[in-house]
Chains A and B, each alone.
Chain A
Amino acid sequence: MSGRDAILGKLRQTLGADTNDATRREAVERRLAKPPRGIVPERGQGSDAQKVKLFCQMAEAVSASVTRVRSPERVPRVVSDYLRAKNLPASVRMGTDRRLKAMPWDKLKALDVKSGPSDGFDEVGVSHAFAGIAETGTVALLSGKDNPSTVNFLPEHHIVVVDVKDIAGDLETVLTGLRRKFGKGRMPRTLNLVTGPSRSGDIEQKIILGAHGPRALHLIVVG
């Protein structure tokens, strides 16, 4: 008997599956077809403007830094200002996301924009978020051919661009958006929910930023 049969067999026996199988199956199918929304905290349920404000507040509370700009055209300038302020080399790594590509990077002659996944030698990575979550100041990043996940973890500094129209009150709303984008029950290979820069408290419970992932997370909120 395979491990699968053994485990499932034991479960069915204990759960009385033979006697009420139809009801049980129906309950499972119903839940999978229509995931209940559950309890969603009031905190993130304000107006759009309140959501953006809360998103920025919550992100800063977990040691991310935030810059707000009116239009995507401003993003390359903010990135270059960030590099200068932090004394970083004029080089960034990013995927080929069309929203990033549409930005006027070529206007910054001195900035070296490297394309593709990170090789582990990048000081700065730039990503575009699928969404922001106001409740916790979280950004949701999706993997895909234009969005390497390595950019989210290997660089020392991670800069994430978020459109205000993509800032939702709660994770549930973002999950609904994912189902719409990829189809029910489907996901990209990786969904990263990132809330602040990497940290560890493993030595004497003292929290230090920059454990294995980026030491700094900078959010550029557009719109």
Chain B
Amino acid sequence: MEVTSPTFKQNAVNALHDAQLQKALGNVRAGFIDKRRKAADALPEFDALRDAARDIKDHTLAHLDLYLEAYEKKVTESGGHVHWAETAEDARRVVLDICRMQNARTVTKGKSMITEEIALNDFLQLAGIKAVETDLGEYIIQLRNEHPSHIIAPAVHVNKDQVEADFRRAHDYLPADRDLTEPETLLDEARRVLRAQYFEAEIGITGANFLVAETGSSVIVTNEGNGDLTQLLPRVHIVVASIEKIVPTLNDVSQILRVLARSATGQDMSVYTTLSTGPRRKGDPDGPEQYHVILLDNGRTSMLGTEFQDMLRCIRCGACMNHCPVYHAVGGHAYGWVYPGPMGAVLTPSLIGVDQGGHLPNASTFCGRCESVCPMRIPLPKMMRHWREREFERGLNPATQRYGMKIWAAFAKRPRLYNFATSMAIPVLALFGGRRKRFSALPLAGGWTKHRDLPAPERRTFMQQWRERESRKQGASA
């Protein structure tokens, strides 16, 4: 997909002026935050489970090579195939090879961010294979030729009237009097159309929330049931998953499940948690005949062992963006690539380069709300700061910012000079502040005064006044 992260600032401005989007973003604030809090508060062990979940992933990452080998062995034992893909291109090629072997014309897809990351749909389409998204939100944005604006609520930026218009355009056989005005009737229509697709598809592609080394199982966690129909009905099931999805055992899955749904949607447990292990067994009346897993690196091994390693604990729950004031203001598309919000601000520069994604870790107030709700206790602000350090080291941030910072630092490092300079400057500024005691415009402060007044300083700095007070005291006691 096209990367627009470098124009983040302009994307943000556009988003801020999009009235429909702004209304839709209200649903994020309303729909997720209270539910998460209630679910978390109702489980006394919630915070202890967050620690446990973090420790499980840390342990796994420290032994990732060995768990991957153990996992591969189990998949093979259960009759499945494991494919290793270093890059997005490698992964796409494996998918295409399997499609070609099956003479596949249609593939159904469960919701997966990893196939967004490798831009699989466009690739398959160019190869003449129809890829049908089956998650309701994904289906909607596929019709709109868009990308997800949220990792668990891909169509959160769209309202129901837009969905109706999209359905009428795409399902042009629908009679005009067919009611498509409410979410319920829209869902019915999508359900009807997609039912046929599950049966038509030769191949079903899903992602995975977890890969279990103990058993060679892939796990998907969904609410709609589309992921299950995708992996159950076609002849071939392909799982695309990045290597950090591994967990050691089924018990570890259970631990993390307890924080996943609560953090994501505020459910104790999502409706469908499905563990798939290999293809259908001898005598099984249904299930796929072939089971393939594509283990994708695509930059993960380069994050391991760096200050960004903790990001590999991410379970893609979306809590960070649900609680992010910047995401609430601009939505997901402004971030300009696959992953939005705080997790995207850390992950995007890791995967496509800080020269492309550099704005994202800068566009944060460091309010820390993301870290405070992250079920995996990922220190997101700290890692955004690490990106800023790397940018600064490489001289990637704008020259004006760098020089401004350097001039300021030159003063801040020299207290006597600093106090002298401020004691000279502040009275002048106070004078201009006038009786209103604020500025509505000020040279060099346009970034501030464009949107708000700048409170004016008092006549003298604290340091000046304190020094005077102390010398008065000394004079009095002498």
Contacts and interface: CB of A to CB of B under 8 A. Distances in A.
Our verdict on whether A and B bind, yes or no, reads yes
Interface of A: 2-4, 6-8, 10-12, 14-15, 17, 24-25, 27-28, 31-32, 35-39, 41-43, 58, 62, 95, 116-117, 120, 135-136, 138, 143-145, 148-150, 152-154, 170-172, 175, 178, 185-206, 208, 210-214
B225 A214 contact: yes
Contact of B284 (A10, A120, A145, A153): A145
Contacts of A175: 250-251, 254
Interface string B246-288: 0011111011011000000101111111111111111111110
A25 to B, nearest CB: 6
A140 B232 CA distance: 17
B153 interface: yes
B471 interface: no
- For A42, A120, A154, A170, which residue has the most chain B Cβ atoms within 10 angstroms? A154
Nearest to B213: A32
Contacts of A2: 84
B370 interface: no
Given A14-B301, A211-B187, A149 B287 contact: yes
Nearest to A133: B269
B274 A11 contact: no
Interface stretch (B2-10, B68-76, B383-391, B393-401): B68-76
9 contacts: A145-B281, A149-B232, A150-B285, A193-B269, A200-B187, A201-B153, A211-B224, A212-B229, A213-B228
B52 interface: yes
Contacts of B232: 149-150, 153, 190
A186 B249 CA distance: 12
B223 A201 contact: yes
B254 A171 contact: yes
B225 A212 contact: yes
Interface of B: 24, 27-28, 30-32, 43-45, 48-49, 52, 59, 62-70, 74, 78, 83-86, 90, 134-137, 140, 153-156, 158-160, 163, 183-184, 186-187, 191, 194-195, 199, 213-217, 223-226, 228-229, 232-233, 243, 248-252, 254-255, 257-258, 265, 267-287, 295, 297, 301-302, 304-305
A190 B195 CA distance: 21
A17 B135 CA distance: 41
Contacts, number: 270
Nearest to B223: A199
A11 B186 CA distance: 47
A35 B250 contact: yes
Contacts of A24: 62-63, 66
Contacts of B183: 203-204, 206, 208
A186 B286 contact: no
Contact of B251 (A17, A38, A205, A213): A38
A12 B65 contact: yes
In the A-B complex, the 9 residue pairs with the closest CB atoms: A213-B225, A205-B31, A211-B224, A202-B137, A145-B283, A35-B249, A3-B84, A203-B183, A4-B84
B63 A15 contact: yes
A85 B448 CA distance: 65
B34 to A, nearest CB: 12
A7 B244 CA distance: 12
B269 A38 contact: no
Nearest to B135: A202
A171 B191 CA distance: 31
B63 A32 contact: no
A37 B254 CA distance: 9
Nearest to A152: B228
B258 to A, nearest CB: 7
Candidate in A8, A25, A120 with the most chain B CB atoms within 10 angstroms: A8
A122 B189 CA distance: 18
Given A32-B214, A39-B48, A205-B153, A117 B187 contact: no
A117 B284 CA distance: 9
Contacts of A196: 271
B225 A38 contact: no
A28 B66 contact: yes
B136 A200 contact: yes
Given A10-B302, A39-B48, A212-B226, 9 more contacts: A138-B273, A191-B274, A192-B272, A192-B273, A198-B223, A200-B136, A202-B137, A202-B153, A212-B191
